[in-house]
Structure 1
Amino acid sequence: MNPILIRPADPADEPAIRACATAAYGPYIAAIGRPPAPMVADFTAQIAARQVHVATDRDGAFLGYVVFFPDGTAMHLEAVAVTPEAAGRGVGKLLIKFCEDEARRSGLSAVQLYTNQKMVANLSIYPHLGFTETGRRSEDGFERVYFEKALT
């Protein structure tokens, strides 16, 4: 299997990131009633702020992306998505682990995230990856479920 590489995103990655977000989050529009927040993110600004990392194979083929940034004593995991072609290859898990590793390197104590309660698969994936549900709130018109993973 071709190794997966993770690197900071650059402006040339923006179209692939946007297409990946559309493919990954688009199926949830009907259930949520509007595009999920990651579909309308300002990727240009996030890339400029060095909050986005992309996964590629050794040949440079785009596989997915992750957006995260420090928020107090935790790393906030804003979004993670994988192309349909790369689904099931562990790319998403590697991107989340990369976020956790960056949090540790930064001396942060946890990774925090939220997902939409209509994204039912996520509600079981995150606990499987060691995250604990910490709350549910309605924000910005979305029903959000919050998770946290303490880093040791």
Structure 2
Amino acid sequence: MVLRVAQASDVASIQQLVRAAFQRYVPRIGREPAPMGVDYAVPVAEGRCWVVEHDGRIAGMVQLAARDGYLEVETIAVADGMQGNGVGTRLLAYAEEKARELGLPEVRLYTNEAMTENLEYYPRRGFREIDRATHHGYRRVFFAKPIA
């Protein structure tokens, strides 16, 4: 697996990957999850999106944003068929590396309350729940992980 910054030529593949990864949550949430509506050309052009390639295909992506006091994982997605192969773990590890590089003390992210798999996944990766709130009609669960 190769982790690299996303290029403009990756945008269509990233859009497809995100749509496929989040499609299963539409019935649970009652509408498309927020990442499905993002124009990934913007974060890619801003250098805020990274991809993992496996066998010449994009297996995962992460979109990051530096905030005041933390690095936010805005979107993380792994291709169907690649879950359980360490792609998500690698992307989260990269977010931690990037936070250290930027001198930020923690990584934060949020997920939808209906994405129950994530509510178990992130704590296993060292994240702790810090809040629950409704934003833009989505019931979100917020997590943070301190960076040593």
TM-score normalised by structure 1 residue count: 0.94
Inter-partner Cα distance in structure 2 for 1:64 and 1:126: 16
Instruction: Give the C-alpha shift of residue 37 in structure 1.
Output: 0.7
- The one of 138, 146, 149 aligned to 2:134: 138
1:48-127 matched pairs, under 5 angstroms: 48-57=45-54, 59-127=55-123
**Deviant stretches of 4+, over 6 Å:** none
Paired residue for 2:20?
Answer: 23
Count of paired positions: 148
Inter-partner Cα distance in structure 1 for 2:18 and 2:58: 12
Inter-partner Cα distance in structure 1 for 2:81 and 2:124: 23
Instruction: Give the C-alpha shift of residue 26 in structure 1.
Output: 0.5
The one-letter amino acid of 2:37's match is V
CA RMSD of aligned residues (A): 0.9
Gaps of 5+ in 2: none
Instruction: Give the C-alpha shift of residue 124 in structure 1.
Output: 0.6
Inter-partner Cα distance in structure 2 for 1:62 and 1:31: 26
Inter-partner Cα distance in structure 2 for 1:138 and 1:6: 33
- SS class of match (1:86): coil
Inter-partner Cα distance in structure 2 for 1:38 and 1:14: 14
- SS class of match (1:75): strand
Instruction: Give the C-alpha shift of residue 60 in structure 1.
Output: 2.8
Provide the identity percentage: 36
